[in-house]
Amino acid sequence: MSRYELSRTELAPLLTGAPSYRVDQLWDGLYRQLVEPEQVTALPRDLRARLGSEPLLAPALHVEAVRHADDGETVKWAVGLADGSRVETVLMHHPRHSTACVSSQAGCAMACSFCATGQAGYTRQLTVGEIVEQVVLAARAARDAGRRLDHVVFMGMGEPLANYERVLASVRRIVGDIGIGARRVTISTVGVVPGIRRLAAEPLQVNLAVSLHAANDRLRNDLVPLGRRYPIAALMDACADYVAATHRRVSFEWALIRSVNDRDADADELARLARALGAHVNLIPLNPTPGAVDLGLVGTDAGGVRAFRARLERHGVNVTVRRTRGRAIDAACGQLAARATSTAPS
Ligand code: SAH
């Protein structure tokens, strides 16, 4: 149990003897003021002291290391969990907004060949409290830097749609309690078709990103093993139903790999899929990871990225080229592996 796991109803018994509005004050302290239970100044001192030592309100995360890159605009935390597992959380500041990239699982079972998390294997599902507390960690740090966290992306470690219930419960807290707009929350999936279909039926306006990376099954199955279970046609069907049900736009993530998925023919094939769905395409040159290096996979160079983008645009596709943030600290897409770092206590 941890402070961001408990519902309001579950918090009430911890405040026995106190009037019921104290629950709201504690809730407000945790989710709006983002402070420690003993720092909720609306509560009487003795109650705060009691809450401060309440085991059920203990934090779920212990920061083991913090690293900065991009002139402080990117921050990565290695956080330890109660059972000794470790995940990573990233905060990225942009000129007008700040984004937290949160993990949904310790490790990942999807085994994408080029992704460091996938190569390290799966440990376990994260709890609601562990997911929400990552957002709080990032929101506090943003505030301390004079910024405001206003976007959350489930693009850290793990496959969010393989931890569906807990991810959705944490989205409800992030939106309903922390107050980040649902339209500023993005769930990214490797292509878990049943999860996309479930998400389409939720009364939530979150964004869906699909890590496509290849527009034909032969290549995709090489890069993304889950493709064998959910071929591109089934994935595109689910996305089309998602768009029809939610009226939200889907985006495709495409890590550009030199001579693998960055040729003209790849752009043409991708454009067909994107146009059929009105999908937005996010391009990013592949970041180096041990698995990618072993397979001889390298990121497309800047000129190649520009040409690929231009070709998609000529096909009428909306494209964004993503900056590779946090590469220097292994915080960029696909690099999160939560390895022990020299600054971590033993
Ligand atoms: N499992 C979910 C959430 C992870 S998001 C998903 O697959 O969508 C992390 C994103 O980084 C995914 O789009 C993933 O495919 C991408 N990625 C993984 N390794 C990468 C690498 N080496 N370079 C660039 N992007 C990578």
Report CA torsion sign: 236, 239, 243, 244: positive
Could you tell me if 82 and 113 lie in one domain?
yes
Distance CA 48, CA 22 (A): 11
Task: Answer yes or no: 88 catalytic.
Answer: yes
pLDDT at 346: 35
230 & 250 share domain = yes
Residue 339 lies in a domain: no
Do 42 and 79 share a domain, yes or no?
Answer: no
| Confidence (pTM) | 0.96
Q: Is 30 in contact with 23 (CB distance < 8 Å)?
A: no
Is residue 260 situated within a structural domain? yes
Domain count, the chain: 2
Q: Residue 116 CA: which ligand 1 atom is closest?
A: 19
Give residue 159's domain range.
62-329
Q: Is position 346 within any domain?
A: no
pLDDT of 343: 41
Residues of the chain with pLDDT under 70: 339-346
Instruction: Determine the pLDDT at residue 265.
Output: 98
Task: For residue 77, give the CATH number of its domain.
Answer: 3.20.20.70
Alpha-carbon gap, residue 141 to 138, rounded angstroms: 5
- What is the rounded CA–CA span in Å between residue 222 and residue 218? 7
Query: Distances from the Cα of 202 to the Cαs of 164, 171, 245, in angstroms?
Result: 12, 11, 9
CA-to-CA separations, 260 to 214, 247, 308, 311, in angstroms, rounded: 9, 33, 13, 16
Best residue for ligand 1 mutational test, from 99, 113, 115 (most atoms within 8 Å of Cβ):
115
Q: What is the pLDDT of residue 323?
A: 87
C-alpha to C-alpha distance for 151 and 180, rounded to whole angstroms? 7
Note whether 130 and 259 are same-domain residues.
yes
| Test site for ligand 1: of 104, 211, 223, 298, most ligand atoms within 8 A of the Cβ | 211
What pLDDT sits at residue 80?
Answer: 97
Alpha carbon of residue 258 to chain centroid: 26
Burial of 237 (0-12, 13-18, 19+ CB in 10 A): middle
Are 68 and 101 in a shared domain?
A: yes
Looking at the fold, whether 14 and 81 belong to one and the same domain comes out as: no
Domain match, 14 and 92 both: no
73/35 same-domain check: no
- 170 and 40 belong to one structural domain: no
How far is the centre of ligand 1, averaged over its atoms, from the C-alpha of 170 (Å)? 21
Residue nearest to atom 5 of ligand 1 (CA): 155
Q: Residue 338's pLDDT is what?
A: 72
Which of 73, 88, 159, 253 is flagged as catalytic?
88
**C-alpha closest to that of 3 among 22, 26, 20, 19:** 26
- Residue at which a domain ends, from 57, 75, 94: 57
Residue 290 counted as domain residue: yes
Residues 96 and 51 placed together within one structural domain of the fold: no
Task: Say if residue 157 is in the same domain as residue 287.
Answer: yes
The pLDDT tens digits for 210-260 are: 999 999 999 999 999 999 999 999 999 999 999 999 999 999 999 999 999
Cα distances from 208 to residues 93, 178, 220, 268, 280, in angstroms, run 21, 20, 19, 23, 11
pLDDT tens-digit readout, 22-65: 999 999 999 999 999 999 999 999 999 999 999 999 999 999 99
- Residue 89, domain member (yes or no): yes
How far apart are alpha carbons 298 and 216 in whole angstroms? 20
- Measured N-to-C along each axis, helices 193-200 and 232-246 cross at an angle, to the nearest 10 degrees, of 10
Is 337 among the domain residues?
no
Terminal Cα-to-Cα distance of the chain (whole angstroms):
24
